[in-house]
Amino acid sequence: MQSKEKFRNLISCTISCAATVALAIATVFALMVVLTPSALAQTFKVLYNFTGRGDGGYPYAGLTMDRAGNLYGTTPAGGKVGGICSLYYGAGCGTVFKLTNKNSQWVFSTLYIFQGGLDGVSPNARVIFGPDGALYGTTTNGGEIGCPQRGCGTVFQLKPPARACNTALCPWTETVLHRFNYSGDGYWPGNGSLLIAPSGVIYGTVTSGGAYGAGAVFSLTPSQGGWTYSVIYSFTGGADGAGPSAGVIFDKAGNLYGTTPYGGSDGYGTIYELMPAGSGWHEKVLYSFTNSRQDWYGIYPVGGLIFDGSGNLYGTSGWSYMDFTGGIVFELTPSNGSWTIANAVDVSGAPHGFAYPPVDSLAMDAADNLYGTVPITNAYSSPWGEIFKVSPDWTVTDLYSSWGQEGAYAYGGPILDANGNLYGTNAGAGQYNAGIVWEITP
């Protein structure tokens, strides 16, 4: 029961307290002794060490890559020094950053620094590109005044400068598309990224609020130069699920898919589908996690889903019944109108035992290998983060286990480039104990 309670606390922080997590990480690693790098360090490279100051700190979310191979990401802390960001958040209000790839060298620049007010606080999810070339993302806090925990969060857009900029200081222009409020529209976006349809409609999730207070899926539709916000589904907190932290994904027919860490038939989370139905959307629960000996596929799915080319879904879940100590990677396969778990593997034992489960989406390469991260692979000794690979035969490989100057707390999921290189973030440690951006080459 103690382990389950620890994981419930982890989910709560995943959902709503990124700045607090960042400050705690800073405190822990300020006292750490940096150890010798792992034996696998020849494939692992630190691209940037955050200082926790003006450049941001403690990157929680994963990265986004543009067509030129440049990297974009967020930090929930750092950035602005002083004022409300120091008074209330301690570690700053967060940033959006870019790493530009110039002749195999990486140049860091800060695109936007959150000011701690109506513009938002603590971006806790990755940013994505829209069809207009702008970046879109969410903040967990900030926005409307009067919301609990200093704001209910925002959806924002960042546009690049109108003219080319050749200096490191090229701020982008932020526009807030929506400020969540303490009402039926939902509040506190989680760690999942937004989804933008070809039509330009934006979809996302909020962990709380909605018609029943258990979270919601929303849309933002461009309209006459502005945006119209709609709740397309409110979770009841019962069998349909509760508290979605991850975002949603599309299938080829335009249906949406996602996860909830709570609710379902036994209260251990769901995988759901939302289908357009007339002027609204209809929800169908594809799978409810049960935490039984017969169904050891984990519980509390915090991370999102991905599709393969055949329409199978892949995702992650928390502790299994077997040991209550790790995370599961699973495959959900459609069959005759229903969905079943076709394959699953425990990634917590690769190779370090006790672990917190993955909290972000997986990545898949052209050979159907799956890649993911585990934030903590041993809560009492090194290492404090793992990057793993699950092969098509469902064997698990520990690609890299990090500690100290290599970074720690790998919350954000990895991304792949065309050459098979992996990129990601660690929320802790590094040279200044404020997190890193890393690369793993094959």
For 2-440, the fitting CATH number among 3.50.50.60, 2.130.10.130, 3.40.1160.10, 2.70.150.10 is 2.130.10.130
Which whole number is the average pLDDT over 385-403? Answer: 89
Residue 22: the pLDDT is 45
Does the pLDDT of residue 9 top 50, yes or no?
A: no
Answer yes or no: is pLDDT of 5 > 80: no
| Per-residue model confidence (pLDDT) at position 167 | 60
Dump pLDDT digits (tens) for 219-277.
Answer: 999 988 899 999 999 999 999 999 999 999 999 999 999 999 999 999 999 999 999 98
- What type of residue sits at position 119? D
Question: Best-predicted range by mean pLDDT among 6-20, 99-113, 340-354?
Answer: 99-113
Q: How far apart are CA 37 and CA 359, in angstroms?
A: 25
**Of residues 279 and 360, more confidently modeled:** 360
Q: pTM surpassing 0.85?
A: yes
Asked whether residue 38 carries a pLDDT value surpassing 50, the answer given is no
pLDDT band at 429 (very low <50, low <70, confident <90, very high): confident
Q: Which pLDDT band, with edges at 50, 70 and 90, does 166 fall under?
A: low
Checking if the pLDDT of 419 tops 80, the result is yes
Which amino acid belongs to residue 398? D
* Cα 158 from Cα 173, distance rounded (Å): 5
Q: For position 21, what pLDDT does the model report?
A: 45
User: 198: cis peptide before it, omega within 30°?
Assistant: no
The per-residue pLDDT for 26 is 42
- How high is the pLDDT of residue 308? 97
Q: How far apart, in whole angstroms, are the C-alpha atoms of residue 130 and residue 276? A: 22
Residue 36 has pLDDT above 50, yes or no: no
Give the full edge-to-edge strand order of the sheet including 173-179: 128-129, 135-139, 154-159, 173-179
Give residue-wise pLDDT tens across range 301-323: 999 999 999 999 999 998 655 55
Token digits for 236? Answer: 């009841």
Of 230, 281, 287, the C-alpha closest to 259 is 287
User: How far is the C-alpha of 147 from the C-alpha of 188, rounded, in Å?
Assistant: 10
Question: HSE (CB half, 13 Å, CA atoms) of 442?
Answer: 9
- Binned at pLDDT 50, 70 and 90, residue 51 comes out as very high
- Quote the pLDDT of residue 322: 52
pLDDT exceeds cutoff 50 at 356: yes
d(CA 217, CA 272) in angstroms, rounded, equals 11
pLDDT class for 89, splitting at 50, 70, 90?
low
Residues, the chain? 442
What whole-number percentage of the chain has pLDDT above 90? 60
Break the chain into its structural domains and give their ranges.
2-440
Has residue 54 got a pLDDT over 70? yes
Q: Is the pLDDT of residue 41 over 50?
A: no
pLDDT, residue 3, reads 41
Rg, the chain, Cα only: 20
**Between the CA of residue 150 and those of 75, 76, 78, 143, 145, what are the distances in Å?**
18, 14, 17, 8, 7
> Which of 48, 75, 58 shows the shortest CA–CA distance to 22?
58
75 touches 139 (CB < 8 A): no
- Residue scoring higher pLDDT (24 or 221): 221
Tokens describing residue 33 = 């002794």
Kindly state the average pLDDT of the residues 111-129: 94
Q: Report the SS3 class of residue 371.
A: strand
Out of 248-252, 338-342, 349-353, 391-395, which region has the weakest mean confidence (pLDDT)? 349-353
Mean pLDDT of the chain: 84
